[in-house]
Amino acid sequence: MATCHFRGPLAFRLQHFLDTRRATGRDTSSIEWILRDLDGFLMGELMPGQTITPEIAGRWIASMGHLSPGTRCNKISILRQFCFYLSHFDPRTCLIRRTQFPRRTRPIPHIYTRAEVRRIMAAAGRIGPAGSLRPALVSTLFGLLYATGIRIGEALNLVLGDIDLRRRAIEIREGKFKKSRLVPLSPSAARHLAVYLRQRRRAGFPNSSSSFVFVAARGGRFWQPTLATIFLDIVRGLGLRGPRGEPGPRIHDFRHSFAVNRLLAWYRQGANMGAKLPLLSTYLGHTTVLGTEIYLHATAELLESAGRLFDNYRARKAA
């Protein structure tokens, strides 16, 4: 087993639970972040030999009151899975019921304009520390997410051997649902990625085919929660999102923006959406078209909203 990253009374079980999730090949950076938070909480709640009771679980859930419903759902989901795992070793462990999850509604995606993406990338290029690779890394990463629509975890899992600038393509190896696919790059995206890779090489990071493209200071994989924190600081600083606790543009909306822009382009071309949707589904790495239909629904809403805005504008002009 790898070095234990936890310190509380259930450190061994937390580490083994995390290792079993890693063994499936899934991205575990966000899971590890949640488990670290749980570990810190349990250090003040449990004595050696004790387990998670309904009262302890309730106090941890109550401590999340300031977080968004989505974040709370994610954290409670990991707690639920861990308690189920832990109950196999200690039957006294409580099991988390679905009724303990907050009501969650799917947020309306923010469809970024090119001007907004340019502002976000420019702001990312100004972050610290000065002289480090981080500004170029974050700026390039945001641009890649917008230009390709790949998932955040897929981008962070890229290694140098997955990049083929000559063919202008990147290979996603065993992404979500263990699906691999080839993703083309636009000329602009390929140029930006080439510039970043030169900067990465000059910074002295490992350059083998198995080295991560987007690297942390010590050469390992860049951590997703760190990226999320940087993103929120940037979009709040640009006025694109309100204070903590208010909804607004998310990193995942880069993927929505790519999908919706592609669908809008097909709408304008008069394309058969029934024939085109499976193509987009394959490109995005969905197992079925049902996952992609979310973007189709968002596109219809956007077109309807745009139509209403135009009608209102025309009515004002005629008045």
Q: What is the pLDDT of residues 32-64, one digit of tens each?
A: 989 999 999 999 999 989 999 999 999 999 999
Q: E strand or H helix at 141, and its extent?
A: helix 134-148
Q: Any catalytic annotation for residue 92?
A: no
Q: Any catalytic annotation for residue 5?
A: no
The single-letter code of the amino acid at 161 is G
Q: Which of 22, 173, 176, 276 is catalytic?
A: 176
The percent of residues above 90 in pLDDT, for the chain, comes to: 52
Q: Which of 255, 256, 262, 283 is catalytic?
A: 255
Confidence of residue 161 (pLDDT cuts 50, 70, 90): very high
Residue written as token pair 């079925």: 288
Q: Helix 134-148 crosses helix 187-202 at what angle (to 10 degrees)?
A: 160
Longest dimension (CA), the chain: 76
Q: Which of 151, 200, 241, 256 is catalytic?
A: 151
Helix, strand, coil % in the chain, rounded to nearest 5: 60, 5, 40
Q: Which of 13, 134, 250, 286 is catalytic?
A: 286
CA–CA separation, 234 and 224 (whole Å) = 15
The model's pLDDT over 64-123, given as tens digits with 9 standing for 90+, comes to 988 878 788 889 999 999 999 999 999 999 999 888 777 766 667 888 989 999 999 999
Residues 206, 209, 213, 218: is their CA dihedral positive or negative?
A: negative
The single-letter code of the amino acid at 178 is K
Q: Any catalytic annotation for residue 179?
A: no
CA–CA separation, 150 and 53 (whole Å) = 40
